[in-house]
Structure formats: structure tokens, C-alpha cells
């Protein structure tokens, strides 16, 4: 039975031109590499190298065997790469995120994935949570990172961290009298993200649970537009504290103290359960890596 050690010896002797050079390359003695070639010759009952020549010159049969040896070594290397190297898990990874994610830690997440999986082509999609979930459902995305508002056994959910939001407005819109009740807020125009947004859906349910109705609302699916309207004094909006902290420090936005306070928004990473087996296992592994990075970068 032939071994890859024997095949390696044949390849490097032919490649480097001598038994001595091949022995140095493979960190072994010249007698050991000669033994491997002798074993190959005994197995096939042919002479592989012409020993009448000073340099290691292949016989006709030796050259034919070398061609097969190259194919075997290439196949071995490809097998080892595909099975063990995470760098080649998949060629294409479709990642869906919300606007908040895209504006904050998506660049760091993409860079981390590229460092670990340099051959993977990352295809980001920035959408509302409802659209991201629809695309995940129809297998148009591999992983989505959204607020924890979807509970479905078809998808595996990995909890990430929470986003702290606060009611915000222009400093002179509301008298400086904290804390402010939700009923008082309801007398102003409220800028919302709407039910197509995961955050908007969670806060609509929360307001309903607190028996609060907002009769005057303006809906925007764009976080930057929502912040811009609040800065312009159009109304009050729920906005991410960390993302807009510089505007609060500058005094161009005021974070209101309300009673009760807004609950934090739990974010999760979702991917399909049926991605865990067979050919889909590669996507599941990359999805898990994405979740792990998200925990660190969120």
C-alpha cells in the first residue's frame, strides 16, 4: 500500500532535483527518503529513478507516476482545506442588518469576519426588520441581526446585547420638568419608526400595554430622518442613546427622563434551523461566528 509520505518524497525529489535536497525540505535523512522511494519501486515493481545518472532523473515510468502523484497531492490539499480551513467555508455570505447596526458596529463586524474568513464574499443588506425577516424566511439572506420580536421555531436565535433608547427632542420643545409622564408626551407630535421596524413594533406594544395612545404621530422608516425631525423641533422621538450621545452632550438634543422609562431593545441574530446539516452546515458555522463577533462588537 502506498502512502502520502512516499508520494511526498517522489514529488520533492523530482521538484528539487536530488535526494539530498528533498531530504532537507522534508526534514529527514537521505537514507530515510531513499527508503520511501525503494518502497514505491517495490510496490509497483518498476524503477522510478535512473540511478546511473548523477542527478535524480526519472525513468519513463517514474515520470508517469509523478503525474499521478501531483494529482493525488492536489486532491489531498483541497480536501484538507475544505474540511479544516475556516477561511474557505463558503464563498458568499448574505448578512442582513437594520439601519442602526449599519450606522454603528457593522464596519467592525465586517472587518472581523474578513480577518477570519478572507475568502468569503460578504453581501450586506440594510432593511427594516420586517423585510429582513421576510428575506430570511425566503432564503434570500443567511443571517439577520434584528430586535428580538420574532419567535419562530424555523429559526435559531442567538441573543446579543441590548440597545438603550430614550425619548428625545429639541431642548426648547418641552419645558424642563423631569420626569415627564407618557400622557404629557402624548400631547406632542410623536415621531415613530412604525410597525415595519422591530423597535417600532416593540414600542407600539409597550405603549398599548401602558394604555397610552399617541394621537399625533409621524412615521419614518429612516433613523437619520427621525433624528433630523427631532432636532428640528417637529416632535418627540425614541432614539438610541449611545448613537446620539454626542448631540446630547452638545445640547442640540435633549434626552427626556420619562415615567415609566423606555425598555431596552434586545437584539438577536437569526439564521435558519435547516442550515445546520449537510451542505448548509458551512453557512451555520459562519452564522455562529457572526453571532460571536456581534456579541463582542455590539
Share of the chain above pLDDT 70, in %: 86
Backbone angles phi, psi at 85, to 5 degrees: -95, 115
Provide the pLDDT for residue 280. 53
Q: What is the mean pLDDT of residues 270-284?
A: 63
- In this model, does residue 203 exceed pLDDT 90? yes
Q: What is the pTM of this model?
A: 0.66
The helix (run of H) or strand (run of E) holding residue 217 is strand 217-219
- In this model, does residue 18 exceed pLDDT 80? yes
Mean pLDDT of the chain: 85
Confidence class for position 25, pLDDT limits 50, 70, 90: confident
DSSP 174-228: S-S-SSEEHHHHTTS-EEE--TTSHHHHHHHHHHHHTT---SSEEE-S-HHHHHH
Cβ contact 282:171 at 8 Å = no
Supply 258's cell numbers. Answer: 420619562
Q: What is the mean pLDDT of residues 289-297?
A: 64
Provide the pLDDT for residue 283. 62
Structural domains in the chain, CATH included, are 4-83 (1.10.10.10), 91-160+266-290 (3.40.190.10), 165-263 (3.40.190.10)
Q: Dihedral (C-alpha) 78, 280, 118, 145: value to the nearest 10 degrees?
A: -170
Share of the chain above pLDDT 90, in %: 40
- In this model, does residue 273 exceed pLDDT 50? yes
Lowest-pLDDT choice from 20-29, 68-77, 78-87, 265-274? 78-87
Cβ contact 223:161 at 8 Å = no
Neighbours of 3 (CB within 10 A): 12
Strand 236-240 and strand 190-192: pairing? parallel
Supply 102's cell numbers. Answer: 449599519
Whole-angstrom Cα distance, residue 10 to residue 32? 12
Provide the pLDDT for residue 202. 95
Provide the pLDDT for residue 81. 53
Amino acid at each position: 500500500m502506498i502512502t502520502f509520505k512516499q508520494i511526498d518524497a517522489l514529488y520533492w525529489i523530482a521538484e528539487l532535483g536530488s535526494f539530498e535536497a528533498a531530504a532537507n525540505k522534508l526534514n529527514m535523512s537521505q537514507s530515510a527518503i531513499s527508503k520511501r522511494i525503494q518502497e514505491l519501486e517495490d510496490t509497483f515493481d518498476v524503477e522510478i529513478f535512473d540511478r546511473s545518472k548523477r542527478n535524480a532523473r526519472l525513468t519513463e515510468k517514474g515520470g508517469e507516476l509523478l503525474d499521478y502523484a501531483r494529482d493525488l497531492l492536489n486532491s489531498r490539499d483541497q480536501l484538507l482545506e475544505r474540511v479544516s480551513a475556516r477561511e474557505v467555508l463558503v464563498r458568499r455570505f448574505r448578512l442582513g442588518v437594520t439601519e442602526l447596526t449599519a450606522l454603528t458596529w457593522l464596519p467592525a463586524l465586517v472587518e472581523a469576519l474578513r480577518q477570519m474568513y478572507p475568502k468569503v464574499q460578504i453581501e450586506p443588506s440594510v432593511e427594516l426588520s420586517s423585510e429582513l425577516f421576510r428575506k430570511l424566511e425566503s432564503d434570500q439572506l443567511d443571517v439577520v441581526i434584528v430586535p428580538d420580536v420574532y419567535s419562530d421555531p424555523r429559526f435559531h436565535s442567538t441573543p446579543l446585547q441590548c440597545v438603550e433608547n430614550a425619548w428625545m427632542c429639541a431642548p426648547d420643545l418641552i419645558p424642563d420638568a423631569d420626569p415627564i409622564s407618557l400622557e404629557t408626551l402624548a400631547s406632542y407630535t410623536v415621531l415613530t419608526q412604525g410597525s415595519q421596524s422591530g423597535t417600532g413594533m416593540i414600542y407600539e406594544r409597550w405603549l398599548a400595554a401602558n394604555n397610552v395612545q399617541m394621537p399625533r404621530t409621524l412615521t419614518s422608516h429612516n433613523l437619520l430622518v427621525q433624528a433630523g425631525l427631532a432636532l428640528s423641533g417637529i416632535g418627540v422621538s425614541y432614539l438610541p442613546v449611545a448613537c446620539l450621545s454626542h448631540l446630547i452632550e452638545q445640547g442640540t438634543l435633549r434626552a427626556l427622563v420619562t415615567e415609566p422609562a423606555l425598555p431596552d431593545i434586545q437584539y438577536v441574530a437569526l439564521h435558519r434551523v435547516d442550515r445546520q446539516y449537510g451542505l448548509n452546515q458551512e453557512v451555520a458555522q459562519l452564522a455562529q461566528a457572526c453571532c460571536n463577533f456581534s456579541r463582542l462588537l455590539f
